[in-house]
Amino acid sequence: MQSLQKLESECLTYFKSEPVWRKVLAGFLEKYASFGKFTGKVKLKNLSADEIEVLEGFFGQNFHGQKSITISAEHFAKALENSRYKEVLPDQLLKLYFGKEPVSKKEQKEKREQEKQAIEDKFFDYCQGTYAEKLVPEMLALQRLHIKDNLSEWRQLLFFSADIVNSLPYRSERTEYLPVFAAGLTKNPHAFDKGTVFGDLLYELVKLDLNHRKMKVERLPYFPSYERQKSFLSCGILLDDVSNYVLLYNVAGVQKNGSYHKGVNGFFEEEDMLQVPLTVLTKLSRLESPDQTLYIDENPSVFAARCMSYPESACMCMNGQPKLAALVALELFAASGTKVYYSGDFDPEGLWIAQRLAYFYPGNFEFLNMDTECYEKCISDEPISDVRLKQLERITDERLLGAVQMMRREKKSGYQEGIL
């Protein structure tokens, strides 16, 4: 045994001493993977004079002047048998040289499938008795799409998926900001940032969970970020910071258990304006107006004046581009059958906001003070560039087309404050 080990060691030293043998043996290893045995032919190209000399010495042939040589498995095996390493078989040489047992692709595939099945069996056990158990088939189907060469990494990702699903905040009737949720699971507040591997994984799992609960979040072309934000929110995860709020007046909030929200209703009873964060809106089932009418203004100063002018109706401030809090509030008003009147600035951006909100609101939605007569009243000396005017091409709501035509002609902005 010791003499064989010594011979194998000397054999390995010889074949490791010349780089050309890596080309030869790597070629036969690839053939072994295809055919499951030491067979086939290896073609060597662009050989140097030194490499040819090494091959001539081993095979006992003259390869002088040749730049490429084809070596068959039979030829190599015979030369090895005629050498002082004749007790080392070709298969054993491949194992010695590459440090692993040569296997066919079929054997590799079978072994990989066995390892994968073992991981999936352990995953079933890991999820048993947890909420994630309900989503095991879906999680496996999802992760099979992302399976990697490294099964160890795939296993970690699979088990991590279960941890994520079991930790979704909505299941304990709470909400968490995304960085806090990430830090709790990974100790890294940026682990689930958009565009990262874990960030994409979380979004896929959120959609799986919503599908399991038969909850559908629409994809809205006018609000491209809505689907992602609302999906996360439905699982108790807040993507935006605490500045995601909506300004309301004369509004009552009904919670999901049917009782009125004391905080919201306190401001309603005191007839005061209220800044409602997204976290509060998630606790409500609907928002109510005393006369089932809601006046929405784009700008805070107009909103403040509106609150004094319409004390019997609910008022809301969009404060520029709609945030998720404003869209969620609109959904809650729609749940109580509220009719909406919206008023905004006369410029390409203002009309775009108006049209998007009209498209979004599922109930009765009207424009207020957004016709040509009102534009004439509030037109300013502020010019609108040709680049901005081109944005008017996306305005298709017939109720706004009169203002669009006049704005193209006048090329000036009009502001809400001018028609108070």
Q: What does the domain layout of the chain look like in residue ranges?
A: 2-103, 106-234, 243-419
Helices (H), 168-216: 178-186, 197-212
Burial 133-155 (b: 16+ CB within 10 A, else e): eebbebbeebbeeeeeeeeeebb
Packed helices 348-360 and 324-334: angle between N→C axes, nearest 10 degrees: 40
Q: Residue 151 to residues 34, 146, 166, 167, 204: CA-CA distances in angstroms?
A: 22, 11, 23, 24, 20
- DSSP letter for each residue of 266-306: HHHHTT-EEEEEHHHHTTEEEEE-TTSEEEEESSHHHHHHH
Give the pair of three-digit tokens for residue 151.
């099964």
Overall size of the chain counted in residues: 420
Tokens of 283: 């606790």
- Rounded to whole angstroms, the Cα distance separating 292 from 294 reads 7
Give the separation between CA 110 and CA 123, rounded to whole angstroms.
20
Contact 365, 381 (CB under 8 A): no
Q: Which CATH architecture has domain 243-419?
A: 3-Layer(aba) Sandwich (3.40)
Residue 165: both structure tokens together: 């699903």
Residue for token pair 């909505």: 170
CA distances for 31 relative to 40, 44, 58, 270, 376, angstroms: 6, 14, 21, 84, 83
pLDDT for the residue 146: 66
How far apart are the C-alpha atoms of 330 and 137, rounded to whole Å?
A: 36
**pLDDT value, residue 251:** 97
pLDDT of residue 285: 96
Show the DSSP H helices in 18-147 as ranges: 20-35, 49-59, 73-81, 90-98, 105-127, 136-144
Q: What angle do CA 255, 278, 265 make, to 5 degrees?
A: 40
Give every residue of the chain whose pLDDT is below 70, as ranges.
1-2, 145-149, 240-243
Which value, to the nearest 10 degrees, does the dihedral of the CA atoms of residues 362, 365, 370, 374 take? -170
| pLDDT tens track for 102-125 | 887 888 788 888 888 899 999 999
CB 414 within 8 A of CB 345: yes
